[in-house]
Structure 1
Amino acid sequence: MNPSMADLVMVVHGPEAFDAGDVERLNGLLSPRQVLVAGIMARTAAEESGLPATCTDERPSVVLGALSGPACMVNRGKTPESGRIFGELVAGRLAGLIHVECSDSTVYCWDNADERLAAAIAERTGYALVHATSTRTRREGVREIRGCIPGEAVFVNGIVIGTATEETVVLASEDGTIWVVSGLDPKPHGFEKLLRAGLPDLQTAWCKSGPVRRRAPGPGERAPRSGRVVVIDHCGHTLYRELEGEVCGVLSIGDDTTAVCGHICSHAGIPIFGVVDGDADAIIEPGYAQGSVVVEVVSGRDDDIGREIAAARSLQATCWEDWVEETLRALAGRVRVVLDLREE
């Protein structure tokens, strides 16, 4: 083996590289010392794959920036162009990046990356080797989200803020707010949710477009029926941080949040109680663990009823089914059940 590859760390971004079998194939070809997983849905896909990997909640640039030895990023973009754009974005935050783009079998050697290592990876994989330079010029207070497909959802920090109308969405921030410059049909409630958490720094915010995962989740063993009830309010990407200890269920607030939580928790075997109001953006293949219930508010917003439940109900349950039944009784006449996976 090429000496520079002996200690290779492979950083995998996104679930598609696992779901399409890329990671398994590259494992066999490159024999990396370690596989690190960057991102939330990638972690779900990694766990379902059964491949040995260390999962993180950090973005790829943070994971790669903390490494000192030979490393590469593995990605499968929804299109080759979006994959290249993502690689350029990550490379712009690093001194150099070797980017293995599986959507079109390309190894990008960005900026000052190790050319010898990039060539060795290209040779072993049979991928084309491309030298590329990232663009590091950014306008203060302006963020471009490139590689969008018109009609797909656009996210900032895990919250859907609208639908793309062009390949590039341009956002700007000033005087404590964010507005659309071009390329987006905005979702006002999404911007409201985003700003409720505080004005994000557009230069460092996590921005993406399109579905967060195309594949349906795999089922898992049922979690304990007693323990903590975790509350996730319109921030499904934070779920893994909360799933430590004895968790028997998740109260998820918001349509997209419920979809994401249901998908992640399906493999973990953790049921959810989802509160929605019918404005889902179809960002992920649905899936729910046994014992899950989803209710739609009859009038008003999911935010209000979800927070009311979180404030009024104990978040320590001796029995998940009893907790759900008592919550439904408290909401009688105000919600309707749209999914019920409790055992008869």
Structure 2
Amino acid sequence: MIPTADIVMVVHGPEAFDAGDARRLIGLLAPRRVLVAGIMARTAAEESGLSVVCTDERPSVVFRGLSGRSCLVNRGKTPESGRIFGELVAGRLGGLVHVETSNDTVYCWNRGDRELAEEIVRLTGYALVCAESDGGRREDVREIRGCLPGEAVFVNGIVIGTATAETVILASENGNLRAVSGLDPKPHGFEKLLRADLPDIQTAWCKSGPVRSSPPRQGERARCGGRVAVIDHCGHTLYREIGEDVCGVLAVGDDTTAVCGHICSHSGIPVFGVVDGDADTIVKPGYAPGSVVVEVQDGRDDDVGRELAAVRDLETDSWEAWVEETLRVLAGRVRVVLDLRGA
């Protein structure tokens, strides 16, 4: 037997917290440190009240910075997608001990720490599977596996379309990105992605499905005055922007507004969302009191959002006053679809 108290546990995704897996495994393994990888995982972790250290990094990046024994904890939307995720991470690292709670399995990838894997199996009663991940990838081609047809597909936090097959294949060529198969593309999504420069398709953050299935928990209202953070179609960058000086968020885009509303609900930070009605329903809705969402009547949310960020003062003594003035600026061009002022 080895002391699991010497290990670092890296938890990926919100579902491991929402389903109670993280709490149970922390109780069984008593790791010396628990790191949280991912944006929505951080929200779920903060709501859980567990003693963890949050990071916005992907698991492979987190593991590269560790020394000593460690394991990955994940709950995939299906056992197959969970296995595929572990295979992907292992392919970028080499050996990996992966605890997959969707099917109570401990994977020991690429001849990883077998002794640790066996000890986790002993303590949890999970099954042990030794597996290999070659990490082989074709240059300029990316496969996003484990998709469910009909669910949203993301690259770097931006929805680029809807899956039509279990595997989506993307190709990068001639300074552009195209869907090869398995995707009903969302042209505006590709446009948004490329506007931020063509990503390295091999290292880009790719996923499919909802970013969290549980609703957010309401937190106490944040400060009334301060800085208004601007999040333009990049909801995954939110935690980098919402410091203690932030009194509200200007969110641009349907999905970005939904993600910001969900995360900021727990933080008690109201959101002013600018949308144009092309939401992909990637997260359970939730907004802090004081939030307002407006739908653009003519044009696109991109243009109106950029205009607001340019013409509105992003420092204010009163969030409510800032919202009132912003609505006056937009009068006749938008309709209010959510208004939680006075809530």
* TM-score > 0.5 by shorter chain: yes
Check conservation: 2:111, 2:130, Cα contact below 8 A.
Answer: no
Q: Does residue 251 of structure 2 align to residue 256 of structure 1?
A: no
Cross-structure match for 1:16: 15
2:279 corresponds in structure 1 to: 280
Residue equivalent to 1:320: 319
Q: Is the 8 A contact 2:70 2:97 kept in 1?
A: yes
Please name the residue that 1:167 is paired with: 166
Counterpart residue number, 2:187: 188
Q: Is the 8 A contact 2:2 2:119 kept in 1?
A: no
Give the equivalent residue in structure 1 for 2:63. Answer: 64
Q: Give the conservation status (yes or no) of the 8 Å contact 1:22–1:102.
A: yes
Aligned residue number for residue 199 of structure 1: 198
CA-based RMSD of the aligned residues comes to: 0.7
Match of 1:302 in 2: 301
Alignment of 1:11-90 (within 5 A): 11-90=10-89
Please say if residues 147 and 167 of structure 2, whose CA atoms lie closer than 8 Å, have aligned partners that are also in contact.
Answer: yes
Corresponding position: 1:145 with 2:144: yes
Moved over 6 A (4+): none
Partner of 1:99: 98
Aligned to 1:163, what secondary structure does the other structure show? strand
Which amino acid letter does the alignment assign opposite residue 101 of structure 2?
C
Provide the rounded CA distance (Å) in 2 between the counterparts of 1:136 and 1:217.
35
Q: What TM-score results when the alignment is normalised by the length of structure 1?
A: 0.99
Identity across matched positions, percent: 75
Q: Offset at 1:125?
A: 0.6
Question: Can you list the C-alpha shifts for 1:62-115, whole angstroms capped at 9, x where unaligned?
Answer: 101111111000000000000000000000010210000000000000003110
> Matched residues in 2 for 1:207 and 1:303: separation?
22
Please give the alpha-carbon distance, in whole angstroms, between the structure 1 residues aligned to 2:184 and 2:79. Answer: 25
Q: Give, in whole Å, the separation in 2 of the partners of 1:295 and 1:276.
A: 6
CA contact (8 A) 1:24 1:51 kept: yes
Q: Does the CA-based 8 Å contact 2:37-2:56 persist in structure 1?
A: yes
Paired amino acid for 2:110: D
| Unaligned ranges ≥5, structure 2 | none
| Contact in 2 for aligned 1:228/1:246 (Cα 8 Å) | yes
Measured in 1, the distance between the counterparts of 2:43 and 2:88 equals 24
Matched with 2:207 is 208
What amino acid does structure 2 have at the position aligned with 1:64? Answer: F
Matched residues in 1 for 2:5 and 2:213: separation?
A: 34
Q: For 1:289 and 1:9, locate their aligned partners in 2 and report how far apart those are by CA, in whole Å.
A: 34
Matched residue of 1:275: which SS? Answer: strand
Quote the offset at 1:137 in angstroms: 1.4
CA distance in 1, matches of 2:4, 2:329: 60
Structure 2 length-normalised TM = 0.99
What are structure 1's unaligned runs of at least 5 residues? none
Q: What is the CA deviation profile of residues 156-204 of structure 1, one whole-angstrom value per residue up to 9, with x for unaligned ones?
A: 0000000000000000001110001000000000000000000000000
The 1-side partners of 2:2 and 2:83 are apart by 28
In 1, Cα distance between the equivalents of 2:166 and 2:65?
Answer: 32
> What's the CA shift for 1:6?
3.1
Shift of 1:245: 3.0
Instruction: Report which stretch shifted further, 81-90 or 4-13.
Output: 4-13
CA contact (8 A) 2:142 2:171 kept: yes
Does the 8 Å CA contact 1:4/1:70 hold for their aligned counterparts? no
**Partner of residue 243, structure 1:** 242
Aligned length: 343
